[in-house]
Each structure stands twice: as structure tokens, then as C-alpha cells.
Chains A and B, each alone.
Chain A
Amino acid sequence: MSDRKLPRLLQTPAVLLLLVWMLIPLGMTLYFSFIRYVLNSLRRPEWTSPSLSNWRGFGNYEFVLKSKDFVLAIQNSLFIVCSILFLTVILGILIAVLINKTFPGQGIVRVLLISPFFVMPAVNAVLWINMILDPVLGLQGIAVAGINDILDGLRQMPLLGGFSSLWPEFEPISFRATQTSAIAVIMMVTWQWTPFAVLIFMTSLQSEDQQQKEAAILDGAGTWSQFRFLTLPHLGRPIAIVVMIQAIFHLSLYAEIEIVSRGNGNKNLPYLIGEFANNNIGAASATGIFAVILANIVAIFLLRMVGKTLME
């Protein structure tokens, strides 16, 4: 036993630091979630400092569950995360396979592909919502106006004008609206995070065994079969990594949602926490605990799914 003591003793500071790092915030969140604690209250000034005498039990949780935005926030969190994961993994695999072949200018193309990942999330959101998706001034508005101009021109034509008049006028979509703001967030985050997936998949593709492919060619496997039976299983683990890391990151999206619509019709759990935290720290903490539970469920579920479908 004595020869094990020394290593454990030496590990202790690191382990302690990690525990403190994790347990203190989690403990404080738990504590706040069970008491009445607000930042500012004229009527009940005793609630403005955290104290066990303000114990509320599961009252904060009930309050959060009953608030009108909670279900929307959960649904929206899942919808946004799953959509982004689906799109980034598919796009990531396609692009990685495409640029894995040697072609002139490969180096530059790879650097350009990775670059969206270096844009700050808030800048990314501002660029997309104002310069690309804006229905009037953005690329979208200009493109729709251009198409409508062409259609107008066709209607003026002498013979075929009759047919063309059946075409409706296109309307630009406002991505700040309640119904569409989540779509805008999904688009901009997918654009930003696809390079991450490409990067991970590309390194994995480069380690693929070429003799296996040659054996498969001799065995009569076409391009699709090689992809399906060799490349895709080979990418199983990197896909799991990409899904895990992105799930963790995207469950906590905040800047994009704030900038696109200030949470209008498009709240997720972190945004809801932010709203509660304007005053009601107790409710914000309870929402935080819900977020931790949701993140764990999502992680377990996704890992199982990816593991089963790909490891034949």
C-alpha cells in the first residue's frame, strides 16, 4: 500500500483543484436554486441576499416549469442543436472527402475552408443577419429583388409574357421574425462549425489505410461501396467526437440568439437563464440545473446512436 501513497499524494493538488473548480459553482447553483434570491426587490428586501432562511424548496423549479417559455426553450435547444449537428456532419464528410484528393491550390483551399472557425460568434451573427440575410440590404434582399426584376422583364415579353405572369412575385424572408429566427441561427452556426468537422474528418481520412482500399477495388467494390464499407466506419469515432463536442458547445449558444432576435420566438435554455438572471437568480439557477440534466441526456443519447449505426 505504501508505494501507492506517494503517487496519490502527488496527484492530490490537481484533483482537488479540479473538484473545487467544478463542485463550487455546481454547489452554489444548487444552493441558489432552492432559495428565494433576487437582485432587486423593494417589497421583500430580505430576498436580495442569499440565505438559508429564504428556503423555497422546489418552488423555483415549479416556477420555471410553469413559465411560458420553458417548454419552448427546451424544444428550441434540441431543434437547434440537432439541426446543426446533422448539417455539419453531412457537410463536413462531403467536403472532407472532396478536398482529400490532391489538386492544385489544395493548401489555400484548406486554409480558406477552416477560416470561418476563427470568426467570433457575435461577429458571425452580425455579419449574417445584417449583410447576408437582411430582407432589404442583405444579399438575400438583393438576390430576391434581382429575381423579381428578371420576372418583371419576362412579363413584358410579347408572346411568353402570359405564361410568366403566372409566376408569383418572390418575397424576401425576414430572418428576425418569430418563425424564422431559429433557422437563421442554425444557418450561421452551421457555416461556422462545418470547418471544425471538416478538419477532424480530414485528418482521419488521411490516416485511412490505402491497401485496404486496393483490396476492396480488387474485391469489386465501387466508389460508393468503398465509402460505405471502409471510409464511413473508419470515420465512426471522429463523427462521435464531432457530435459530442458540438452538442456541448451548441447547447450553450447565446450570442447568435441575442443578436438575431433578442430571443423573440427563439429562446434556448441559456437564453432563458440570462432572462431570469436579470433579477431572479433563484429561477435562473433552477433553469441551470435543468440545462445540466438536458446536456447529459443529449450526450448519452447521441453517443449511443452514433456508436450503434456506424460500428457495424
Chain B
Amino acid sequence: MGQIVLDKVSKSFGDVEVIPPLDLTIEDGEFTVFVGPSGCGKSTLLRMIAGLEDLTSGAIAIDGEDVTEVPPSKRGLAMVFQSYALYPHMTVRKNIGFPLRMEKMDQAEIDKRVETAATSLNLMDYLDRKPGQLSGGQRQRVAIGRAIVRDPSAFLFDEPLSNLDAALRVGMRLEISEMHERMQTTMIYVTHDQVEAMTMANKIVVLQAGVIEQVGSPLDLYHKPQNVFVAGFIGSPKMNIFTGPEAEKQGAHTIGIRPEHTDVSMTEGTWKGTVGVAEHLGSDTFIHVHNTGLADMVTVRISGDISVKHGDDIYLTPQPDQIHRFDAQGLRIE
């Protein structure tokens, strides 16, 4: 069980309102990702759910029970921190067992639970080492182990992968997703990396300056961004967004077209430009096109390889059904 409901939750530091009143429901068993640029309040929101930050107003309920005034340890939540926050003077075994020891659990029971958690996380060989002797990935596993043993109603992850190198990050991403599939426990995951958000989430919450811009499944957000911010934030490479005559032709103030929804030709097309940098990834090629008269730079993505040189003329044709249109307020026009 682990349904979390935020009811008009807000947070101010002195006179500065970081999070204006906000409503959000996270269903039991859901993998929810809070994503947004740095400073958007996503970590603050997570810390408020954990109980590490007080609410300025509003209420938080877990499984229908108001926990606004309940101390962090009694909320039944476990958190994994960006810096791992392992206890440096304790062995891995003691680190993982610490929450149980604080609950005054029987030592035999603690040992049993720690070993179960360690087995599932491949940490059996490291139980008697100290955190300082472990690699980044292993430390992160220990931090997850410390969360698992408590058998919490929800897991909170605060940018857990941002201290790992790229290869490890992909591996840990899969492990956390796998863990969620296996345990079916509610998870809230904070990240600024939209790739992590897209690959892991059941539900993504896009935040900007403490305001929820859109809530939806990853593909919802990709296909139907509700506003210009979400359109630009979700998707990699970024959506090309421009205003002006081309947008007005479509009956909108702003239009957006994703790099992968633009057809490329060397001879004819809707828009003409010159090739800037071409990034060859093997499977795909990203071409940055200049002098289109639309925006400083338009990015297009084509499958496979194409031989273009810097300075070549190039023609772009947007796929008409993939054009996103927005009004003067930046909101989506259906």
C-alpha cells in the first residue's frame, strides 16, 4: 500500500515562495518521476513528502491518513539520497541493518533481513566492508538496500544516479526499474534527466518554478505536450520551436516540430537551410541546420547515415501531422 495525496501543498522560504499551492495524487504501486530543470522545486517537494521539510500550508496523506504532522521516521517511507548518505564508520551490514536496529528489532531477525536484501542486490561479498572501500555503484546499492529492509510503503529517490558514470547509470536504471516491477511498491523518483524520466516512469510530473506543468505517461508527454515548456523539455534532441510567419501559417502563435519528425532532402522541401555540424552516431545522424529563417538553429534527426558536408544546402519538410501548435500563452492548440 502506498497512495500519496498532496493537497494544496506549498512551501516558502521567508518571503520567497518556492512551491505555490499544488495538488497531486500518486497511486499505489506507481513509479512517478518528478522532472524539471535544476531549481524547479522537485527535490524540495520530495523532501516535503519525506518529512524533512515542513509544509508552509496544505496537507499530505499517505493511504488516506494525514501525515502532515507525523515525524519522518513514522511515515513508512524510505529515501535514497544523491550522495548515498551511507554511514562511513559502519560496515555495509550495519548500514543496511541500521533502520532495523533503530526499531529495536531482534538481532537474528536483523541479520536475516540484511542478508535477504544483500542477496537481492548482489552485495553478499561486501557485507563486512566499509562504504569507503566500495565503488559508486556498490554504494548506491547499499543505500537501496538500507531502504529495502524497512519494507516501506513507498520509496523516494533523490537524483540517485547523478553521481554515477554513464555506463553504470544505464545499468542502475534498469535495476531500479526491475526492482519496481518485482516489488510493485510506490516509487517517487526525482531527476533532471528526461531520459531517466522517460525510460523509468509510469507517470511523469514536469515541474517548473514549483508549478506542475503537466502530469502524464511518458508517451502522453511526448505526443501531446500541454505547453511549450513541456514540449521543449521532453524529448532528445530538443524539439525545434519557432514563432513568426511559419507559425501563423499553421494558425498558431508558436509551433514545434521534433527533430525525428522532419524529412530531409538535398534537392527539395518546405524550408531551405545550410548544414552546420552533423553528429554521426552510427544508428542516427543529428544535423544542425542554420539560415532557415525559422530559428537560429534547427535540429533534425535521420535514421542511418547521410553524407552531408558543412555548408551544404539542405531542405527540410515537417511531417504535417506531427506539428505541435501553441497559442500566445504557450498552451497547446488541438
Contacts and interface: CB of A to CB of B under 8 A. Distances in A.
A240 interface: no
A230 B77 CA distance: 21
B87 A220 contact: no
A225 B87 CA distance: 13
Contacts of A236: 89
A102 interface: no
Contacts of B77: 218
Contact of B52 (A217, A220, A312): A217
Of the candidates A209, A217, A218, A221, the one having the most CB atoms from chain B within 10 angstroms of its own CB is A218
Of the candidates B77, B85, B98, the one having the most CB atoms from chain A within 10 angstroms of its own CB is B85
B239 interface: no
A300 to B, nearest CB: 23
B203 interface: no
Q: Is the interface of B mostly helix, strand, loop or mixed?
A: loop
A214 B52 contact: yes
B50 A219 contact: no
B87 A216 contact: yes
A217 B77 CA distance: 11
Nearest to B90: A312
A212 B87 contact: yes
Interface string A212-245: 1011111111000100011001101000000000
Interface in B88-105: 88-90, 94, 98-99, 102-103
B73 interface: yes
Contacts, number: 63
A53 interface: no
Contact of B78 (A218, A234, A311): A218
B98 A229 contact: yes
B229 interface: no
Contacts of A209: 83, 85
A311 B87 CA distance: 12
Interface residues of A, number: 19
A211 interface: yes
Given A229-B98, A312-B90, A220 B85 contact: no
B72 interface: yes
A262 to B, nearest CB: 47
B146 A219 contact: yes
Nearest to B152: A218
Given A211-B83, A214-B52, A214-B81, A219 B89 contact: no
A120 B77 CA distance: 55
A220 B146 CA distance: 12
B169 to A, nearest CB: 20
Contact of B73 (A211, A220, A233, A311): A220
Contact of A217 (B73, B78, B94, B150): B73
Interface of B: 50-52, 71-73, 77-79, 81-83, 85-90, 94, 98-99, 102-103, 146, 150
17 contacts: A209-B85, A212-B87, A214-B52, A214-B79, A214-B81, A215-B81, A215-B146, A216-B87, A218-B52, A218-B78, A218-B99, A219-B73, A219-B99, A233-B88, A234-B89, A312-B90, A312-B94
